[in-house]
Structure 1
Amino acid sequence: MAKAKGSITSKRHKKILKMAKGYRGAKHRQYRRAKEAVLHAGQYAFAGRRLRRRDIRSLWISRINAALTPYQVSYSRFMKLLKDSGLELDRKILAQLALEQPEVFKRIVEKATSAKRKK
């Protein structure tokens, strides 16, 4: 009986080499090197998705803190005042307002700080 041509193996190899397209050196030509590179790339991508969320949150915090400097309120104090005043706005929305609609952000800051004075 004649040996099969290995169509399944060749498909698997093709798939891995297609994933490794654009990699440098032997990593896009040789199956064994490409397989390893694709495996590591997947691990880095997984970790990167978590890091991106962390980085975006810290960007929001930086933007809010920068927008608070004219009002002489620190970020941590503002978040506490916001919570105490009953305004439930997340960091993403606050950062967006600070960037795109500063007058609305100013009213939010005033409302949060006025709630402190009433107590």
Structure 2
Amino acid sequence: MPRVKSGPYRKQKIRKMLRRAKGFRAGRSKLNRAAREAVMRAGQYGYFGRKNKKRDYRGMWIVRINAACDLRGLAYHKFMNGLRIAKVDLNRKALAELALSDAKAFDELVETAKKALASKPAPAAPAKKK
């Protein structure tokens, strides 16, 4: 059986890796081994960065909703609880967008939450242990 040579395929793989490392500094964009390590690390940073981005955006939406609720005299947790009781199913992204762009609609949601909180009876105090 003849020997299989991987010359062109190997060269193609190296070129592909170096293309992905374009823009990196020093040997990380020129040397195959260093470029491979740098590209792997960049992929890991990208993966975790995408997870962190979701976390950061959710935090930003909560801050925006909280600020809008404070202006209307309602705490964030009470506002969200009121919406839950009133069965208003809007996510935080949509609520933050409403708070920024459509103040009138957000005012209506705040009123809905306040009414729902007022109509719900206060929970009974838990029994003390003896």
Q: Helix, strand or coil for the counterpart of 1:87? A: coil
Name the CA distance, whole Å, in 1 between partners of 2:107 and 2:23. 48
Alignment partner, residue 111 of structure 1: 112
For 1:34, give the aligned amino acid. Answer: A
Going from structure 1 to structure 2, the CA distance change for 1:7 and 1:109 (only over 3 Å counts) comes to: same
Which has the greater radius of gyration?
2
Equivalent-residue separation in structure 2 for 1:60 and 1:32 (angstroms):
42
Q: Give % identity.
A: 39
Residue 87 of structure 2: aligned partner? 86
Matching residue of 1:75: 76
- Which residue of the partner structure matches residue 63 of structure 2? 62
State the alpha-carbon separation in 2 of the partners of residues 42 and 102 from structure 1.
41
How many angstroms does 1:44 deviate by?
0.8
Q: Which runs of 5+ in 1 are unaligned?
A: none
Higher helix share goes to which structure? Answer: 1
Shift of 1:117: 2.1
Runs (4+) of structure 1 exceeding 4 A deviation are none
Per-residue CA deviation, residues 27-75 of structure 1 (Å, 9 max, x unaligned), is 0011110000001111111111111111111111011001111122111
Deviation readout 1:76-104 (Å, 9 max, x if unpaired): 11111110111111111100100110110
1-side partners of 2:12 and 2:78: how far apart?
59
Q: How many residue pairs align between the two structures?
A: 119
Name the SS for the 1:116 alignment partner: helix
**What runs of 5+ residues in structure 2 fail to find an aligned partner?**
121-130
Give the C-alpha shift of residue 114 in structure 1: 1.5
For the aligned residue pairs, the C-alpha RMSD in angstroms reads: 1.8
SS at match of 1:34: helix
